[in-house]
């Protein structure tokens, strides 16, 4: 069977950035930054994206590309004699993470749909009265959240059933540039807010005393989440990549674009959040509490609202499609399930899982602090995901033959690739596991306190 491939080089970039850029940048990044005190955390995050995220991203793309398989089969194919058990578990873990993350990613995507609809209604029924678009109806109704999540999943599933070229590349590829443009326009608007200097200071002035013991692990978790590492996504994408592409260069560009987009998202959200309300800064609701009011205050605001939430929705759709694609491509390869059945089967499982986050904001809300979304987020993104991502990295380091690693990494036309090769290996072997170890240790002390 011929493996599907990207139609164009540009297609790969669009889809990889489409997977990386999503709710992680716009929804998760701002509130995690606020939770961890601002500038110092942002600096930590940018550094870690480069010294931990980038090497791991290269490793995942190599893993897929080297034997043209998705994560479960790819890990098993590596040097068949060693660590068989371990490899099997890493592959499985990635797919389980994808399933669970997709479930709550869908619920948040449903929130985006809710705002999109509200802005539509707003434009249709506007009689010059100042209206409000808030989270309240969502927070009151788990059924509404689950309903919206189902709509979202249905759309993603239909696209995924169409296969990699027809579905993924065409849809995701078209959506990215529009959003970036939109964000830049909005940033120019937020710059006129009086809170902008305070917001920029908060974001970019590193006050290290504001960091917490748990901040290092939080930053690692977010780097993995935002670069789609540890899910097997990038392994699958690497497997569709043509031999002509120089993977380290591609990975560097993806990391750079994704990180820049997170910073732009921060510059967009914080001036608004600081001028309108201070309370929700550290909560998952931050983006949704801050933005709608601001958009409505602009001239022609309801239209801006439609455009912004449409773009945000499309970004979260592209990320969801790529999560679903991992699950489907693994099921197809590993269990020989046809694409159609794999996609609909995955939809059913994810929907069942999604009931937990959907109802967590009302029925199942935990006492006082946080919801099930936050608890899930902590266990999954800050603990399990980094372990999965670093394990895949170590596996690539130990199990792909030296000659193959060199073939993939070193490009004779790019002299710097020769120098970077040993840095990459060293980082993957020592630095990345050491940073993770330190972070887990610090987190442990944080929990003891
Ligand atoms: N990177 C995406 C984001 O930041 C989330 C994601 C993870 C998407 C894994 C696909 C796979 O929103």
Q: Cα separation of 361 and 168, whole Å? A: 32
19 lines ligand 1 (CB under 6 A): yes
Is the pLDDT score of 213 beyond 70?
A: yes
Mean pLDDT across the chain, nearest whole number?
85
Using N-to-C axis directions, what is the helix angle for 9-20 and 170-190, rounded to 10°?
60
Q: Cα separation of 119 and 134, whole Å? A: 11
Question: Is the distance from CB of 252 to CB of 84 less than 8 angstroms?
Answer: no
Question: Is the distance from CB of 23 to CB of 194 less than 8 angstroms?
Answer: no
Report pLDDT for 365. 46
Q: What are phi and psi of 284, to 5 degrees?
A: -55, -20
Radius of gyration of the chain measured on its C-alpha atoms: 21
End-to-end CA distance of the chain: 56
Least confident of 202-206, 223-227, 397-401: 397-401
Output DSSP code: residue 281: G
Confidence of residue 8 (pLDDT cuts 50, 70, 90): low
233 lines ligand 1 (CB under 6 A): yes
228 lines ligand 1 (CB under 6 A): yes
Report pLDDT for 186. 86
Place of tokens 């170590």: 394
Q: Cα separation of 146 and 152, whole Å? A: 10
Report pLDDT for 48. 98
Q: How many CB atoms lie within 10 A of CB 303?
A: 14
How large is the average pLDDT for residues 149-163?
90
24 lines ligand 1 (CB under 6 A): yes
Question: What value, to the nearest 5°, has the Cα angle with vertex 383 and ends 429 and 18?
Answer: 80
- Ligand 1, atom nearest to 319 Cα: 8
Question: What value, to the nearest 5°, has the Cα angle with vertex 238 and ends 236 and 243?
Answer: 145
Q: What is the pTM of this model?
A: 0.91
Question: Residues near 87 by Cβ (< 8 Å), separated by ≥ 6?
Answer: 75, 76, 78, 395, 399
262 lines ligand 1 (CB under 6 A): no
Using N-to-C axis directions, what is the helix angle for 247-276 and 9-20, rounded to 10°?
40
Q: Cα separation of 400 and 152, whole Å? A: 38
Q: How many CB atoms lie within 10 A of CB 40?
A: 18
Question: Residues near 314 by Cβ (< 8 Å), separated by ≥ 6?
Answer: 175, 178, 179
25 lines ligand 1 (CB under 6 A): yes
Question: Residues near 230 by Cβ (< 8 Å), separated by ≥ 6?
Answer: 94, 97, 224, 385, 386, 387, 388, 389, 392
221 lines ligand 1 (CB under 6 A): no
pLDDT tens digits, residue range 361-382? 654 444 445 566 677 788 899 9
pLDDT tens digits, residue range 13-62? 777 888 898 899 999 999 999 999 999 999 999 999 999 999 999 999 99
pLDDT tens digits, residue range 107-148? 999 999 999 998 888 887 765 555 677 788 888 888 999 999
Confidence of residue 287 (pLDDT cuts 50, 70, 90): confident
Q: Cα separation of 161 and 152, whole Å? A: 15
- Ligand 1, atom nearest to 315 Cα: 12
Higher pLDDT, 361 or 421: 421
Query: Which DSSP string do the residues of 142-206 spell out, in sequence order?
Result: HHHHHHHHHHHHHHHHHHHHT-IIIIIIHHHHHHHHHHHHHHHHHHHHHTTSTTHHHHHHHHHS-
Mutate to test the pocket of ligand 1, among 15, 19, 224 (most ligand atoms within 8 A of CB): 19
22 lines ligand 1 (CB under 6 A): yes
Q: Determine the distance separating the centroid of ligand 1 and the alpha carbon of 371, expressed in angstroms.
A: 21
Provide the strand spans (E) within 218-369: none
């Amino acid at each position: 069977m011929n493996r599907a491939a990207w139609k164009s080089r540009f297609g790969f970039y669009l889809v990889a950035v489409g997977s990386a850029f999503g709710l992680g940048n716009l929804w998760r990044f701002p509130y995690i930054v606020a939770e961890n005190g601002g500038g110092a955390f942002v600096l930590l995050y940018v550094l870690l994206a480069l010294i931990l995220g980038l090497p791991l991203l290269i490793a995942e793309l190599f893993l897929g590309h080297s034997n043209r398989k998705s994560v479960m089969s790819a890990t098993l194919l590596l040097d068949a004699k060693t660590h068989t058990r371990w490899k099997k578990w890493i592959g499985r873990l990635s797919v389980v993470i994808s399933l669970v993350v997709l479930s709550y990613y869908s619920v948040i995507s449903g929130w985006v749909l809710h705002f999109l609809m509200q802005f539509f209604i707003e434009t249709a029924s506007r009689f010059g009265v100042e209206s409000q678009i808030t989270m309240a109806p969502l927070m009151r109704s788990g059924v509404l959240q689950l309903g919206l999540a189902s709509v979202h999943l249905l759309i993603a599933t239909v696209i995924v059933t169409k296969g990699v070229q027809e579905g993924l590349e065409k849809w995701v590829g078209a959506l990215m540039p529009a959003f970036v443009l939109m964000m830049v326009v909005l940033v120019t608007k937020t710059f006129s807010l009086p809170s902008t200097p305070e917001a920029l200071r908060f974001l970019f002035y590193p006050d290290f005393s504001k960091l917490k013991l748990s901040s290092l692990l939080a930053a690692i978790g977010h780097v993995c989440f935002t670069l789609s590492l540890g899910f097997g996504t990038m392994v699958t994408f690497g497997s569709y990549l043509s031999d002509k592409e120089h993977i380290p260069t591609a990975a560097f560009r993806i990391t750079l674009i994704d990180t820049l987009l997170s910073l732009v998202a921060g510059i967009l959200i914080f001036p608004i959040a600081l001028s309108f309300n201070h309370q929700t800064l550290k909560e998952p609701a931050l983006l949704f509490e801050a933005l709608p009011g601001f958009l409505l205050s602009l001239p022609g605001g309801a239209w801006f609202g439609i455009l912004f939430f449409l773009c945000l929705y499309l970004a979260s759709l592209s990320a969801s499609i790529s999560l679903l694609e991992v699950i489907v491509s693994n099921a197809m390869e590993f269990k020989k399930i046809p694409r159609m059945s794999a996609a609909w089967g995955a939809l059913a499982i994810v929907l069942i899982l999604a009931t937990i986050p959907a109802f967590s904001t009302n029925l199942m809300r935990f006492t006082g602090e946080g919801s099930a979304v936050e608890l899930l987020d902590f266990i999954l993104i800050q603990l399990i995901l980094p372990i999965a991502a670093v394990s895949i990295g170590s596996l690539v380091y130990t199990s792909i033959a030296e000659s193959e690693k060199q073939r993939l990494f070193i490009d004779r036309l790019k002299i710097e690739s020769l120098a970077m090769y040993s840095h990459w290996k060293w980082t993957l072997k020592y630095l990345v596991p050491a940073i993770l170890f330190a972070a887990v240790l610090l987190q442990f002390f944080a929990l003891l306190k």
